[in-house]
Structure 1
């Protein structure tokens, strides 16, 4: 029994899911490196939903295509935004296979270890109450994206937040009564961000903004971040729910 199937049947059987991986793909797959990250906003009022750790793990396995390519290298980063101090980024890593004739049993152990660490990191995000007074979203994005490896073939970042920056850099809530001002003052706000912590070039990074966006104000907040991240060469997708 391969490690993903075994892990989901034992540790993650609570989610009612099992996966079947064709282990013969070890001999033919592409040995790529994929990096994926999840930022969860724990600021007060940002997330009215709770993080479903089991569902998030299932989506991670699907997004990484672990069923299809068991030789690939993977790095999964998670971080909370909302704390007054930027927390350490948690990392779960699966090294890529470099041997011409890899040990299937050893690879199963490596995959199982990766899944266990990823689930633990997701559980931590889910355990943090959404009651913090700041977001520090920009600083958290910088902290996470700085850890992407240049050689990674695929890079993804999911941000689950209402995207309202509340920090010593700027309090976006001052634009609640004038949402379009976020775009009018775009250059000034971006300069304040860059003066605090420059956001690296995001070429090759797909950013998924999972945000409520259910008011005119929050729609303009989303548009601000879309424009900012695209100016750093990211591909940006805005959705209504975590996936």
Structure 2
């Protein structure tokens, strides 16, 4: 009898990490962004901005993995009066909080001169073929299969994200109720970025021919 009680307690403790039982988590993830109200919801719960890892853990449980990666980046400082400009390489450490089962992760980076807040990265099932941007050192083991809603419109990973008639020379275009700009490699659009929206969004496309969503970066800031 005592052994049964002990085993039950262990099971309860393992399911109650951070005050949330994994069995109570929905089987399908929902992410909802409203740039008109500057709101972010995950599984129906309002997310603090900027992202707070403690709150994320309370909602999603602990990450499947936590990884770090240090790389060299160039830091440049403008000169001022008698002080000449400087340019040097510094170490930047990236921290990855990966939710393998959901197809998403949170990333932040710190260096001696600059710290960047958490960003949410959502990976769809379209691998990024473009190689002009630096790939993440780590990523979830599976793709996001939940529902990503942007201003009441559900994003489709199987459809082209760039509207017809939009090309690298377009000055801006509206999609999903947001004004977008685009970056390109050669004459091919590879990334979309929200011009004025909050939270700020970057949509990385998979390839030039398909232009489907490969992954989305969500950058929340204090208002």
TM-score (norm 1): 0.26
> In proportion to residue count, which structure has more helix?
1
For the pair shown, the structure with the greater C-alpha radius of gyration is 2
> In proportion to residue count, which structure has more strand?
2
Structure scoring higher RCO (CA < 8 A, sep ≥ 6) equals: 1
TM-score (norm 2): 0.28
